[in-house]
Amino acid sequence: MLKIYTDGSCISNPNGPGGWAFVVIEEDGYEYYFSDKNACTTNNRMELTAILEAISSVKENQECIIFSDSQLTINCAIGKWKRNANLDLWEEYDKISKNKIINFEWVKAHNGNKYNEIVDELAYKEAKNA
């Protein structure tokens, strides 16, 4: 099963520069990282964009676990909470998550988790460079 850590960042939230990042850890231990930026966004959009970009790399019928420090994003993704904002991104999520086995696990931010710290740093760097 793939392990994926995601994070989003926005400076001067809302409507400030933002960034997103994710790392995929394959079963054999191989890791790969992706990140990008957006000039005008929100923190929640960047959190969700990180997940969207990450699951785009997951093959059909492949199982993955996504670790995120965003309880909002996780709870909206699993249907526990109502989706009230970023409906365009949630529509995209519903499309690209079909036929993929996606599990979520919340991880506390800034708590020493190696991969959460890495994606946090990458997303923040992207936001600073947006």
Residues marked active site are found at 7-8, 47, 69, 110, 120
State the residue for tokens 């199982």: 63
> Of 65, 62, 89, whose CA–CA distance to 76 is shortest?
89
The C-alpha angle with vertex 103 and arms to 72 and 66, in degrees rounded to 5, equals 65
28: helix, strand or coil: coil
> Of 47, 27, 36, whose CA–CA distance to 109 is shortest?
47
